């Protein structure tokens, strides 16, 4: 599924099953919550924090998909084509960072 297809599929789901989009500000708060859930898994699985039993059923892939879902909801409701936005972002990074990372001694 492409980014555009995903945006369209989410829009269709929101307008039929979800009734309507939450406000942009509410979706920003939800995005923050979802990123927090990703951080919780990362801290416990890859970091030093110990897990609780309630953490055992959480899956990183599912939580990352939740983050992408809400991010694309925000893009939809603010009229942003994320395919176009990502293409522009790659252009920016290819110009700005053309040699930056190769010259970073910390990455050698």
- Cα 75 from chain centroid (whole Å): 11
Instruction: Tell me the per-residue pLDDT of 16-68, one tens digit each, with 9 for 90 and over.
Output: 999 999 999 999 999 999 999 999 999 999 999 998 888 888 999 999 999 99
**Dihedral Cα 40, 41, 47, 48, nearest 10 deg:** 70
Q: pLDDT confidence of 98, banded at 50, 70, 90?
A: confident
The pLDDT score that the predictor gives to residue 56 is 81
pLDDT > 90? residue 91: yes
The pLDDT score that the predictor gives to residue 35 is 98
pTM of the model: 0.89
């Amino acid at each position: 599924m492409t980014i555009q297809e995903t945006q369209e599929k989410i829009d269709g789901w929101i307008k039929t099953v979800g009734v309507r989009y939450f406000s942009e500000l509410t979706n920003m708060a939800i995005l923050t919550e979802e990123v927090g859930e990703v951080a919780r898994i990362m801290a416990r699985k890859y970091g030093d924090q110990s897990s609780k039993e309630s953490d055992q059923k959480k899956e990183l892939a599912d939580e990352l998909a939740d983050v992408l879902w809400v991010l694309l909801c925000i893009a939809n409701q603010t009229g942003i084509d994320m395919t176009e936005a990502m293409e522009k972002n790659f252009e920016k990074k290819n110009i700005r960072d053309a040699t930056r990372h190769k010259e970073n001694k910390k990455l050698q």
